[in-house]
Amino acid sequence: MNIGVLNSGGDSPGLNAVIEGVVGAASRRGWNVVGFYDGFEGLLSEEGDERFEWLTPAACRGLRAKGGTILGTVNKGNFAIKVGVDQKGAIEPAVLEKTKATVRRLGLDALIVVGGDGSQSTALLLSEIGLPVVGVPKTIDNDLGATDVTFGFYSAVSIVSESLDRLETTANAHQRMMVVEVMGRHAGWIALEGGIAGSADVILLPEIPFSLENVVECIKARKAAGQREILVVVSEGARLADELVLLDEKTQGEVRLGGIGKVIAKKLEEATGIETRSCVLGHIQRGGSPCSYDRILGTRFGSYAVELVEKRQFSCMVALRGTQMTAVPIEEAVKTLKLVDPDCQLVRTARDLGVCFGD
Amino acid sequence: MNIGVLNSGGDSPGLNAVIEGVVGAASRRGWNVVGFYDGFEGLLSEEGDERFEWLTPAACRGLRAKGGTILGTVNKGNFAIKVGVDQKGAIEPAVLEKTKATVRRLGLDALIVVGGDGSQSTALLLSEIGLPVVGVPKTIDNDLGATDVTFGFYSAVSIVSESLDRLETTANAHQRMMVVEVMGRHAGWIALEGGIAGSADVILLPEIPFSLENVVECIKARKAAGQREILVVVSEGARLADELVLLDEKTQGEVRLGGIGKVIAKKLEEATGIETRSCVLGHIQRGGSPCSYDRILGTRFGSYAVELVEKRQFSCMVALRGTQMTAVPIEEAVKTLKLVDPDCQLVRTARDLGVCFGD
Amino acid sequence: MNIGVLNSGGDSPGLNAVIEGVVGAASRRGWNVVGFYDGFEGLLSEEGDERFEWLTPAACRGLRAKGGTILGTVNKGNFAIKVGVDQKGAIEPAVLEKTKATVRRLGLDALIVVGGDGSQSTALLLSEIGLPVVGVPKTIDNDLGATDVTFGFYSAVSIVSESLDRLETTANAHQRMMVVEVMGRHAGWIALEGGIAGSADVILLPEIPFSLENVVECIKARKAAGQREILVVVSEGARLADELVLLDEKTQGEVRLGGIGKVIAKKLEEATGIETRSCVLGHIQRGGSPCSYDRILGTRFGSYAVELVEKRQFSCMVALRGTQMTAVPIEEAVKTLKLVDPDCQLVRTARDLGVCFGD
Amino acid sequence: MNIGVLNSGGDSPGLNAVIEGVVGAASRRGWNVVGFYDGFEGLLSEEGDERFEWLTPAACRGLRAKGGTILGTVNKGNFAIKVGVDQKGAIEPAVLEKTKATVRRLGLDALIVVGGDGSQSTALLLSEIGLPVVGVPKTIDNDLGATDVTFGFYSAVSIVSESLDRLETTANAHQRMMVVEVMGRHAGWIALEGGIAGSADVILLPEIPFSLENVVECIKARKAAGQREILVVVSEGARLADELVLLDEKTQGEVRLGGIGKVIAKKLEEATGIETRSCVLGHIQRGGSPCSYDRILGTRFGSYAVELVEKRQFSCMVALRGTQMTAVPIEEAVKTLKLVDPDCQLVRTARDLGVCFGD
């Protein structure tokens, strides 16, 4: 058997662990593994322009501890799905033809695709041209309903938490407010769990629209009670209640992703009179050696993906349920975004810890 | 309402997070929380020798990030259960009387007990004298069947993993074998997950009896293949197949817990001829600031324990199932030790990664 | 003897270590220490509005490991020096009078001032009104000629280095360029040492004016040689050769401190065609538990400051020279900024490691 | 020019940084670098059994962040100096002949030896057979008088300090004493600086002989004052005052290096009645990614060693004096061990912080 593996979309700590798991599990079965470079693009290899390598356990030993991915990854590319007039998504025929040629040339029996919902949809389209696929979920935001946890998430949460630990000390020394923008466009899990771990005072999420008045009131009450430092964590995708949008003062345009923390910092500083600094954690959240949890989860995902290939459970995605691995049809898995339920026990815990969500 | 909280038995990173969760959740309900010092011993307070304090959210703010426990803890004490001639376990009557007096004096409505199976059994006996109890599981070994994970476990796994990362570099430089003894008397989860995360070559667990011959053969094969360093992780409670015991050379007595790593190191060095060093991680594994995962899990446990008090679900223990909190009757919960199943997917993953279990 | 201690200006990891050192050293001599809150402002205490506390070794135990400062700090305040028509700097008479009253009331024999050059100048003015002072240098930028190293600097360097380690992995995965802005308005030590430790490709400093052309050329050469990731470290105060200034596209005004990284990132992305992300490390650099080096240096500074009080070597500042502590007259110490010499061995080392300075 | 580089003796974090520095500096001069495997042994290469590789900057990029050494190292070997009847040390003639052959064959112009005093003495003997040498000091114990600091030392200190941070929390929770044995056979710098950084109560060093009575008295006083945890740091080479030796109870033999912590723990537990645990940090202290300080110092050492080759300052060793690099004749450098002076300012600082040395 020859199986392929690729990762696609934004990187997440644990990608290399998945690769090591796949290679180890395949090798124990006597199979070969080919790793494609830079997402699906590697499938467009041609003789003279090969964009893959055959991977051995010896070469992959210890890979689970390395950040990034030895295969490289791209966010978009030739395999982006285009929706036609018939409302059905498709990949360009020329791209599919070239892929078929690669599959034939390498004698590929199956492909393991590590990626988010877009990449898994692409994977399904490849299965239609005769390349059986197994999916491994990848979303650092942990926003996929089909699995309890995705790798990379707890590495990101750790970095947010460590950063808050740091910022707390300097905020306390200067009696400042710190506004920290973290990842999470649609789902606020990183802000929620990172904020709980890092003792945030305020957490603003896409799922719980907030009013600035509520936030200001909460902050003022804490200062009045003698608290020196205020820590505010903001998801990239946090939004105001009542469909209001935050406007950029200079441009009067809506604040784009990546800038909301700064705008909120300014407004809170004006409204409370507290000296405020803002900080965008950015790509630090997705970099570096994965935490133990992600090294373990990543290798489990990779190993189990090979089990699914062996059982011929194709067009499925591996998933964690409780302490067990399980398989979920990709088609269903990509449909359900896992959002923070404002009434869930985790949010209740946060409120118990005094967190203000601005609602 | 006045509720008490205490922790009992060996400490585990996240104890303070539980306390902060309890205090926050109670406070939001307008309840008071009293924290007892040094496990159940605090219940033996007397006027003039008070061994407790009333805890406020302000005083507990940020506690979740602190290692140890502000309440102190003891492993055994006056509340140890003694089994009588009728085969029933009991606490000494004088101790119970004194406890009743404290309960009356403080107007205690319920008690939250953070502890292992022994402590939870003690808690049940206290409920029989009219003090309703709710349990929070505490075992750094993660060996309780009733919950997917216990707090402290991933902090310990991280430390094992980091230590292996360190030892790998010096082992490689000197072409040495490193034998690392980690916690786990009855269950090998720390060795298994720590070993996977830290790229161990050999993992020896209580649940998978090993033969030295198998281990030696594996190590020799790796050296022959050109591998410079060998990393061996040993649970305290690892044991030989065929009921054999490891004998201490000097005393000819059976090797006690805490020394097995050194003995195995010596035997492997003799059998393989590879220069070997051993290392007992010991108490470093249970110390220090909890990792993010444990901060979050600990506060969730504490918060949910108060919910159970509110719902009057007494004699139950909080537990994590998947992503949800749930309640399990203490009586059932303490019965089932969660051991590593040699055929489970996690062990298969380890084997895929080349781990030798010596079986 | 009663001695006071205060810290003034921006916080730096190790401030608490200095305080613990001062308190311990004074206590061994049988002296009392009073810590003033929020910089010099604490000297303006009045009965009913006391802004200080008496510090004991027991209360300060372990303080050296804590970030921030238990005394709080302010950047500017009532003690800011105003330059009069006679070109001489002075503090407002009313402020001095109030200070004198506090000194008398507390029976203060000497004051230890932990602060930068501005704060040390203020300290000298206080010595003129009869309050003997000893200085402890504080500049996270390590830009003081009088001492080999200042505390806080290596903590900041560690954070820069760790951040680069993280960013390298994600930059590599996506073949991106990362531009990281770090502290350093006048002196580029943090960028230089952090950049060396974190394997930066390009380091831009205030002391070595750069041309974008040179930087672009270097980056292109590396990409051409097959390097996937490019790491650029920029001091806040980095500046272009030939007196050119970087202009903000929107406002056409000069780019202010705190925004230069983003501007450079944009220009480099345009010129090289490489996908680029920028990151401002900001206050994370000054937060969190000090690294071991700073804990040791901070306590040494504090302890030695008390030795100087004992020897009555007033109007001096403690300093590290090689492995030894020494005393330097404050007046001289504040005059010499320690800048990066473009020809020094550290810069040569960086060049040997392939660093491009854009000159 | 062709220059060789090798490291010899126990590994120390920063070895790879030195190698990267050497390769970068040589490459900028247009020189070639050959790295010899496993210390001096690599010099015994023969055609068909080559034990070296030519190193390029591209291959060494980022090496400074890696623990261990890509060249491998051995503690002793064929180059060990044997002292003859004439009291002069020499290397076996056959070994020297083989070395000469390698030097000729590779066209080696100079050799950079990274090692301790033994290795530097060997290096001097090689210079006598016509191979010019430059030394780079390597001692994780920081016990070389010729340089202010050696690389690896602050990495080790950090690990000791972090371990103490961890142990403090669990010791506090259980009211225990923790006895931690750290590296340092002849010089106690790691115990001293690690102990200061980690807030140790007691530090026992080779240079300050201690009496158990004094230590016991100090510990009892602290417990009496209400301190819950006691942290004791012991150098491997710590020794009792009055020429007394610690006897192993079982064997009645003198306690060897590597076991002193355990013996002291037992004696202190008996004398104080405090529950005590001991911990040997062991090889964890020399493993893992070097701290920023060591990455910088290592690359500086490597770069400067090449400068010395260029200036033909042979038989010298690079050294750090203050902030500057300098060269010291190897012959003098190896003579002076840098020991902790019991009256130095660093020890005074420790005493100010309440440290008991048992003297």
Question: What b-and-e string marks burial along C306-333, b requiring 16 or more CB atoms within 10 Å of the CB?
Answer: bbbbeeebbbbbbbbbebebbbbbbeeb
Is the pLDDT score of C249 beyond 70? Answer: no
Is the pLDDT score of B335 beyond 60? Answer: yes
- Chains touching C, CB cut-off 8 Å, 3+ pairs: A, D
Query: Given C258, C286, C314, which residue is the final one in a domain?
Result: C286
Instruction: Answer whether residue D135 is part of any domain.
Output: yes
Q: Sheet with A2-7: list strands edge to edge.
A: A52-55, A32-36, A2-7, A110-115, A133-137, A316-321, A324-329
State yes or no: ipTM above 0.90: yes
φ/ψ of residue D63, rounded to 5: -60, -30
Chain-chain contact of C306 with D348 (C-beta, under 8 angstroms): no
Instruction: Answer whether residue D348 is part of any domain.
Output: no
Chain-chain contact of A279 with C279 (C-beta, under 8 angstroms): no
**Does residue A143 sit in helix, strand or coil?**
coil
CA distance D79 to D66: 27
- CA dist B332 → B124, C9, D315 (Å): 12, 59, 74
pLDDT digits (tens, 9 = 90+) for D107-152: 999 999 999 999 999 999 999 999 999 999 999 999 999 999 999 9
* Contact residues, chain A, for B168 at CB < 8 Å: 62
Instruction: Answer whether residue B196 is part of any domain.
Output: yes
Question: What b-and-e string marks burial along B209-221, b requiring 16 or more CB atoms within 10 Å of the CB?
Answer: bbebeebbebbee
Q: Given the residues D141, D143, D201, D294, select the one marked as catalytic.
A: D141
CA distance D268 to D219: 9
- Asked if D173 contacts B69 with a C-beta cutoff of 8 angstroms, the reply is yes
Instruction: Answer whether residue B191 is part of any domain.
Output: yes
End-to-end C-alpha distance for chain D, whole angstroms = 55
DSSP designation for C181: E
- Chains touching D, CB cut-off 8 Å, 3+ pairs: B, C
Residue C352 half-sphere exposure, CB side, CA atoms within 13 Å? 32
- What was the pLDDT predicted at C271? 97
- As a whole number of angstroms, the longest Cα–Cα distance in chain B is 71
| pTM of the model as a whole | 0.96
Asked if residue B49 and residue B132 are part of one domain, the reply reads yes
φ/ψ of residue D267, rounded to 5: -65, -40
Asked if residue A320 and residue A253 are part of one domain, the reply reads no
Residue A175: which of C72, C168, C228 has the nearest Cβ?
C72
E strand or H helix at C235, and its extent?
Answer: strand C230-235
CA distance B194 to B209: 19
- What was the pLDDT predicted at B256? 53
| Segment 57-76 of chain C within 8 Å of chain D by CB | 57-58, 61-62, 64-65
Measure C82 CA to nearest chain D CA, in Å.
35
User: Is B141 a catalytic site residue?
Assistant: yes
Is the pLDDT score of C141 beyond 60? Answer: yes
- What was the pLDDT predicted at B264? 96
Q: Given the residues B141, B143, B201, B294, select the one marked as catalytic.
A: B141
Walk along chain A (359 residues) and give the pLDDT tens digit of each residue.
999 999 999 999 999 999 999 999 999 999 999 999 999 999 999 989 999 999 999 999 999 999 999 999 998 789 988 887 777 888 999 999 999 999 999 999 999 999 999 999 999 999 999 999 999 999 999 999 999 999 999 999 999 999 999 999 999 999 999 999 999 999 999 999 999 999 999 999 999 999 999 999 999 999 999 999 999 999 999 999 875 566 555 555 655 555 899 999 999 999 999 999 999 999 999 999 999 999 999 999 999 999 999 999 999 999 999 999 999 999 999 888 999 999 999 999 999 999 999 99
- What was the pLDDT predicted at C259? 84
pLDDT digits (tens, 9 = 90+) for A232-288: 999 999 999 875 566 555 555 655 555 899 999 999 999 999 999 999 999 999 999
pLDDT digits (tens, 9 = 90+) for B59-99: 999 999 999 999 999 987 899 888 877 778 889 999 999 99
User: Strand B32-36 vs strand B52-55: parallel, antiparallel, or unpaired?
Assistant: antiparallel
* Contact residues, chain B, for D288 at CB < 8 Å: 162, 165-166, 169
DSSP designation for B52: E
- Asked if B96 contacts B80 with a C-beta cutoff of 8 angstroms, the reply is no
Residue A20: which of B165, B351, B353 has the nearest Cβ?
B353
CA distance A177 to A192: 18
- CA dist A99 → A277, A306, D201 (Å): 50, 21, 67
A321: closest chain B residue by CA? B322
Chain-chain contact of A283 with C167 (C-beta, under 8 angstroms): yes
- What was the pLDDT predicted at B356? 98
Instruction: Answer whether residue A73 is part of any domain.
Output: yes
Asked if residue D303 and residue D167 are part of one domain, the reply reads no
Chain-chain contact of C72 with A174 (C-beta, under 8 angstroms): yes
C196: closest chain D residue by CA? D296
For residue A278, give the CATH number of its domain.
3.40.50.460
* Contact residues, chain B, for D284 at CB < 8 Å: 163, 166-167, 279
Measure C148 CA to nearest chain D CA, in Å.
6
Measure C333 CA to nearest chain D CA, in Å.
17
Nearest CA to A328 among A318, A337, A338, A320?
A318
Query: Given A256, A286, A316, which residue is the final one in a domain?
Result: A286
Asked if residue B294 and residue B147 are part of one domain, the reply reads yes
- CA dist C179 → C261, C266, C279, C359, D292 (Å): 6, 9, 6, 18, 20
pLDDT digits (tens, 9 = 90+) for B92-146: 999 999 999 999 999 999 999 999 999 999 999 999 999 999 999 999 999 999 9
CB under 8 Å to A284, separation ≥6 — which residues? A159, A163, C163, C166, C167, C279
- What was the pLDDT predicted at D336? 85
Query: A76 labelled as ligand-binding?
Result: yes
Could you give the residue ranges of the DSSP H alpha helices within D34-152? Answer: 57-60, 93-106, 117-128
CA distance A289 to B168: 15
pLDDT digits (tens, 9 = 90+) for C46-95: 989 999 999 999 999 999 999 999 999 998 789 988 887 777 888 999 99
Measure A69 CA to nearest chain C CA, in Å.
5
- What was the pLDDT predicted at D226? 94
CA distance B36 to B57: 16
- CA dist A112 → A27, A42, A145, B347 (Å): 15, 13, 20, 21
Instruction: For residue B295, give both structure tokens.
Output: 């901060």
For residue B139, give the CATH number of its domain.
3.40.50.450
- What was the pLDDT predicted at A290? 98
pLDDT digits (tens, 9 = 90+) for B256-281: 555 899 999 999 999 999 999 999 99
Asked if residue C136 and residue C28 are part of one domain, the reply reads yes
Containing structural domain, residue B42: 2-151+290-333
The rounded Cα A153 to chain-centroid distance in angstroms is: 7
DSSP designation for D63: G
φ/ψ of residue B57, rounded to 5: -55, -40
Asked if residue A83 and residue A207 are part of one domain, the reply reads no
The rounded Cα D188 to chain-centroid distance in angstroms is: 11
Q: Given the residues A11, A141, A143, A201, select the one marked as catalytic.
A: A141
Nearest CA to B54 among B17, B95, B22, B97?
B22
* Contact residues, chain B, for A321 at CB < 8 Å: 322
Chain-chain contact of B197 with A345 (C-beta, under 8 angstroms): no
Mean pLDDT of chain C: 94
Q: Does D272 touch chain C (CB under 8 A)?
A: no
* Contact residues, chain D, for C168 at CB < 8 Å: 62
Asked if residue C97 and residue C185 are part of one domain, the reply reads no
**Does residue B245 sit in helix, strand or coil?**
coil
Query: Given C286, C306, C325, which residue is the final one in a domain?
Result: C286
Asked if residue A54 and residue A99 are part of one domain, the reply reads yes
CA distance C268 to C180: 13
Instruction: Answer whether residue A338 is part of any domain.
Output: no
pLDDT digits (tens, 9 = 90+) for B169-200: 999 999 999 999 999 999 999 999 999 999 99
The rounded Cα C353 to chain-centroid distance in angstroms is: 26
Is the pLDDT score of C253 beyond 70? Answer: no
Higher local confidence (pLDDT), B285 or D243 = B285
pLDDT digits (tens, 9 = 90+) for C265-314: 999 999 999 999 999 999 999 999 999 999 999 999 999 999 999 999 99
D295: closest chain C residue by CA? C197
Residue B154: which of A165, A198, A292 has the nearest Cβ?
A292
Number of domains in chain B: 2
Asked if residue A174 and residue A100 are part of one domain, the reply reads no
* Contact residues, chain B, for D172 at CB < 8 Å: 68, 72
Query: C239 labelled as ligand-binding?
Result: no
CA distance D352 to C299: 9
Residue type at A189? W
Q: Does B236 touch chain D (CB under 8 A)?
A: no
Instruction: Answer whether residue D303 is part of any domain.
Output: yes
Chain-chain contact of B64 with A303 (C-beta, under 8 angstroms): no
Q: What is the dihedral of CA D190, D191, D196, D201, to 10 degrees?
A: 170
pLDDT band at residue D352 using 50, 70 and 90 as cut-offs: very high
Q: Given the residues C141, C143, C201, C294, select the one marked as catalytic.
A: C141
Instruction: For residue B171, give both structure tokens.
Output: 């082992």
Asked if residue A166 and residue A72 are part of one domain, the reply reads no
Q: Does C148 touch chain D (CB under 8 A)?
A: yes
Measure D257 CA to nearest chain B CA, in Å.
14
Chain-chain contact of B283 with D162 (C-beta, under 8 angstroms): no
Instruction: For residue A318, give both structure tokens.
Output: 């591996």
For D100, counting Cβ atoms within 10 Å of its Cβ (0-12 exposed, 13-18 middle, 19+ buried), the class is: middle
Mean pLDDT of chain B: 94
Nearest CA to D115 among D155, D71, D82?
D71
Chain-chain contact of C324 with D303 (C-beta, under 8 angstroms): no
- Asked if B359 contacts B240 with a C-beta cutoff of 8 angstroms, the reply is no
- Chains touching B, CB cut-off 8 Å, 3+ pairs: A, D
Asked if residue C189 and residue C72 are part of one domain, the reply reads no
φ/ψ of residue B59, rounded to 5: -70, -25
Q: Does C353 touch chain D (CB under 8 A)?
A: yes
- What was the pLDDT predicted at A171? 97
Could you give the residue ranges of the DSSP H alpha helices within B135-211? Answer: 153-174, 189-197
Asked if residue B282 and residue B302 are part of one domain, the reply reads no
* Contact residues, chain C, for D161 at CB < 8 Å: 292, 295
- Asked if B187 contacts B145 with a C-beta cutoff of 8 angstroms, the reply is no
For C248, counting Cβ atoms within 10 Å of its Cβ (0-12 exposed, 13-18 middle, 19+ buried), the class is: middle
Is the pLDDT score of D254 beyond 80? Answer: no
Q: Does D300 touch chain C (CB under 8 A)?
A: yes
Q: How many residues does chain D have?
A: 359
Measure A51 CA to nearest chain B CA, in Å.
25
- CA dist D18 → B283, C348, D270, D293 (Å): 34, 14, 47, 13
Q: Would you list the DSSP string of D151-216?
A: TTHHHHHHHHHHHHHHHHHHHHHHT-EEEEEES-SS--HHHHHHHHHTT-SEEE-SSS-B-HHHHH
Measure B342 CA to nearest chain A CA, in Å.
14
- What was the pLDDT predicted at B267? 96
Instruction: Answer whether residue C341 is part of any domain.
Output: no
Chain-chain contact of C173 with A15 (C-beta, under 8 angstroms): yes
The strand pairing partners of A53, in sequence order, are A35
